[in-house]
């Protein structure tokens, strides 16, 4: 394991601001994970694991060891007439892995096409899009437990998956995820309930869609309204969609008939944060090189050289105006350091 000092984090995260890590290293196998753990303990230094840095914001230099996860590999564990179980290294690129499954005809992850990031990051915030969350295909997650100093394999139930959350999100400094076992279906049931997916299929006159058709539709939808982080700095949805009580929902709906929301239980509604932000007039607004994306208000973008602090302050202004107008406290979905 080689450790560099005072390393710029600019190439390692999608907002590409120039904060620095006091120490930096790469993890390419399980031995490196143990070495990172030991080194951090001996030097009494916090560890931050990064994948491809597409869901993070540095507001200041990181005063510890940043370790970039690069454990690779896709291995077939079992295959039956109906299912395939794969073990995938945490450092694999998420979209490449999804494409691999789509090409093999193994279904379950196709709605999560073109999500930026790595496989290892996927369970942390239980990535989700177009009616699918990754938890539906995860059998188990293998990680190094920094608290106990040992590798452990957590079954799906033990990962405590929720909307954009999991055990790993709740205990952010405890686990270094090294691999994940996914269970995929050879005769998949395609999820096309989202209107936009049906619209694209209809437009292309596809009546019996294949896995690849769904994946291509998602790629088209995402490319049309989400900025490519390799071209415009961003971290996807910057905020979570908030949950409010049915009483509050009824009150808001009276005052704002256009409110976009859907029920998630008998007593709660999930509100489209993008709509709240847009209704406050933020969509397309730029301050210096930071802006609210013109096609999707939930995304904060960087148009040039920025500091993470500027992005943070911009997001704080959005939170403030949404709170004043709707009495709803938005929460950031990106990880802020």
Beta strands 261-263 and 268-271 are: antiparallel
Residue-wise burial string across 294-328, b where 16 or more C-beta atoms lie within 10 A, e elsewhere: eebbbbbbbeeebbbebbbebbeebbebbeeebeb
Q: Give, in order, the Cα–Cα distances in Å from 113 to each of 102, 143, 178.
A: 9, 24, 22
Supply the minimum distance, in Å, between the C-beta of residue 115 and ligand EPU: 7
Among 108, 236, 242, 291, binds ligand EPU (CB under 6 A): 236
Let me know: does 288 contact 301? Beta carbons within 8 Å. Answer: no
Supply the minimum distance, in Å, between the C-beta of residue 131 and ligand EPU: 7
Closer CB to ligand EPU, 135 or 333, in the complex = 333
Of 47-106, binders to ligand EPU (CB under 6 A) are none
Closer CB to ligand EPU, 89 or 274, in the complex = 274
- From start to end of 192-287, where are the E strands? 233-237, 243-245, 261-263, 268-271, 286-287
Give the Cα separation of 232 and 254 in Å (integer): 38
Q: Taking CB under 6 A as the rule, does residue 272 contact ligand EPU?
A: yes
Q: Which one of 30, 87, 164, 294 is the catalytic residue? A: 164
Among 58, 130, 161, 168, binds ligand EPU (CB under 6 A): 130
Using CB under 6 A, which of the segments 93-101, 183-191, 249-257, 295-303 binds ligand EPU?
295-303
Give the Cα separation of 260 and 249 in Å (integer): 10
Supply the minimum distance, in Å, between the C-beta of residue 299 and ligand EPU: 7
Give the Cα separation of 211 and 187 in Å (integer): 10
Nearest to 106 by CA among 179, 182, 181: 182
Length of the chain: 337
Give the phi and the psi of residue 197 in degrees, each rounded to 5. -70, -45
Among 37, 296, 307, 315, binds ligand EPU (CB under 6 A): 296
Q: Taking CB under 6 A as the rule, does residue 317 contact ligand EPU?
A: no
Q: Taking CB under 6 A as the rule, does residue 283 contact ligand EPU?
A: yes
Contact letters for ligand EPU, residues 156-195 (x by CB under 6 A) = ----------------------------------------
Closer CB to ligand EPU, 181 or 237, in the complex = 237
Query: Would residue 237 show up in a list of annotated catalytic residues for this protein?
Result: yes
Query: Would residue 164 show up in a list of annotated catalytic residues for this protein?
Result: yes
Let me know: does 89 contact 74? Beta carbons within 8 Å. Answer: yes
Which residues belong to the active site? Answer: 164, 237, 333
Give me the residues that bind ligand EPU (CB under 6 A), please: 129-130, 226, 236-237, 240-241, 260, 272, 274-275, 278, 283, 296-298, 333
């Amino acid at each position: 394991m080689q450790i560099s000092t005072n390393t710029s984090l600019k190439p390692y995260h999608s907002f590409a601001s120039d904060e620095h890590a006091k120490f930096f290293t790469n993890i390419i196998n399980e031995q490196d994970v143990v070495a990172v753990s030991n080194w951090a303990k001996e030097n009494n230094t916090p560890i931050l694991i990064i994948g491809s840095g597409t869901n993070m914001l540095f507001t200041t230099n990181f005063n510890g060891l940043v370790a970039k996860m690069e454990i690779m590999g896709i291995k077939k564990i079992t295959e039956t007439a109906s299912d395939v179980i794969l073990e995938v290294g945490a450092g694999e690129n998420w979209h490449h892995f999804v494409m691999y499954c789509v090409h093999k005809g193994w279904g379950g992850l196709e709605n999560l096409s073109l999500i930026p990031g790595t496989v290892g990051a996927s369970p942390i915030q239980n990535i989700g899009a177009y009616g699918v969350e990754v938890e539906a295909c995860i059998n188990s997650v293998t990680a190094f437990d920094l608290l106990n100093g040992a590798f452990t394999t957590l079954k799906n139930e033990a990962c405590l998956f929720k909307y954009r959350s999991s055990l790993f999100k709740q205990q952010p400094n405890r686990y270094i995820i090294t691999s994940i076992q996914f269970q995929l279906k050879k005769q998949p049931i395609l999820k096309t309930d989202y209107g936009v997916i049906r619209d694209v299929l209809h437009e292309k006159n596809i009546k019996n869609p294949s896995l690849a058709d769904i994946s291509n539709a998602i790629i088209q939808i995402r490319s049309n309204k989400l900025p490519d982080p390799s071209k415009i700095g961003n971290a996807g949805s910057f905020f979570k969609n908030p949950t409010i009580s049915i009483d509050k929902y009824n009150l808001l709906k009276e005052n704002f008939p256009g409110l976009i929301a859907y029920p998630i239980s008998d007593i709660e509604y999930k509100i489209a944060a993008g709509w709240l932000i847009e209704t406050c007039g933020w969509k397309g607004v730029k301050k210096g090189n930071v802006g609210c994306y013109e096609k999707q208000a939930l995304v904060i973008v960087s148009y040039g050289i920025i500091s993470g602090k500027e992005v943070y302050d911009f997001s704080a202004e959005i939170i403030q105006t949404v709170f004043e107008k709707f009495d709803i406290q938005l929460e950031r979905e990106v990880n802020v350091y």
